Amino acid sequence: MVIGLTGGIASGKSTAARRFGEWGAHVIDADKLGHRAYLKDSAAYHAVVAAFGDDVVGEDGEIDRRVLGGKVFGNPEKLQQLTDIVWPAIRDMAATEIAGVRAAEPGRVIVLEAAVLIEAGWQDLVDEIWVTVVDREVAIERATARDGSDRTAVEARINAQLTNEARISAADRVIDNSGSAAALEEQLADLWQQIGANA
Ligand code: ATP
């Protein structure tokens, strides 16, 4: 079974994925694949440099994500240009990894942790979509505490994302993480049991 785990900023995706990993799931982190997607000399690397210019290449020859981020920030067209390059590359890597794990360990649960699962249209890679949600204020609190960023910056990021409602309507299961860490644990354990895995 392949679970697509998604959710907004600081909603607890990584915390949940880590726990499922401890319980035996093979976890694929789409964010990490994103870092690998345009490493030097990959197809996506060349596409990004062609689209955004040589100045996105840092001294080490790799794409400087901060420079690239600066170019797309607040510019929806540029952002889409970037995601049109990077999302298919991430998708291919995730699909390959899923196929590999399925072949090698047919019974193993796979968790694809992907903040943009729905936006990128990767639903067909997974059997079920699980969504972590937190109230807006809780997300702001946890994100500011974790990242040291200010409230306005976090709110801007939240406003640019899908709403909880949109994610919930796409979800097979919803994990409500506005409560305590213990309350989260309980839900994760329940879900893990429901899918028949051994916690
Ligand atoms: P992002 O996509 O923004 O990286 P995420 O959805 O992966 O975030 P986590 O990193 O798992 O979210 O959680 C965000 C922060 O909130 C972390 O610092 C985490 O330790 C904390 N956290 C998660 N769940 C709870 C909880 N139930 N109670 C208190 N803190 C929590």
DSSP element (H, E) containing 165: helix 164-170
pLDDT attached to residue 197? 59
3-state secondary structure of 115: coil
Atom of ligand 1 nearest to the CA of 184: 27
pLDDT attached to residue 64? 95
Q: Would you list the domain boundaries of the chain?
A: 1-25+109-193, 32-108
Among 97, 93, 43, 32, residue whose Cα is nearest residue 65: 32
pTM for the predicted model, two decimal places = 0.94
Q: Is the CB of 31 under 6 A from ligand 1?
A: no
The residue whose C-alpha atom lies closest to atom 11 belonging to ligand 1 is: 12
Atom of ligand 1 nearest to the CA of 18: 11
pLDDT of residue 199 exceeding 50: no
Q: Does residue 91 contact residue 125 with C-beta atoms inside 8 Å? A: yes
Topology of the domain covering 32-108: Rossmann fold (3.40.50)
Query: Quick one: 1-25+109-193 is in which CATH superfamily?
Result: P-loop containing nucleotide triphosphate hydrolases (3.40.50.300)
* String of DSSP letters for 126-152: -SEEEEEE--HHHHHHHHHHHH---HH
Q: Does residue 130 contact residue 173 with C-beta atoms inside 8 Å? A: yes
pLDDT attached to residue 196? 84
Percent of the chain scoring above 70 in pLDDT:
98
Q: Is the CB of 177 under 6 A from ligand 1?
A: yes
Instruction: Please give the average per-residue pLDDT across 70-80, as a whole number.
Output: 92
Please give, one letter per residue, the 3-state secondary structure of 55-84.
Answer: HHECCCCCECHHHHHHHHCCCHHHHHHHHH
pLDDT in tens, 128-185: 999 999 999 999 999 999 989 899 999 999 998 999 999 999 999 999 999 999 999 9
Instruction: Please give the average per-residue pLDDT across 79-94, as a whole number.
Output: 96
Q: Sorting pLDDT into bands at 50, 70 and 90, what band is 68?
A: very high
CA–CA separation, 125 and 136 (whole Å): 29
CA–CA separation, 98 and 126 (whole Å): 9
pLDDT attached to residue 74? 84
Instruction: Please give the average per-residue pLDDT across 91-114, as a whole number.
Output: 97
- Write down the number of H helices and E strands in the chain: 10, 5
- Domain 1-25+109-193 and domain 32-108 have a common topology: yes
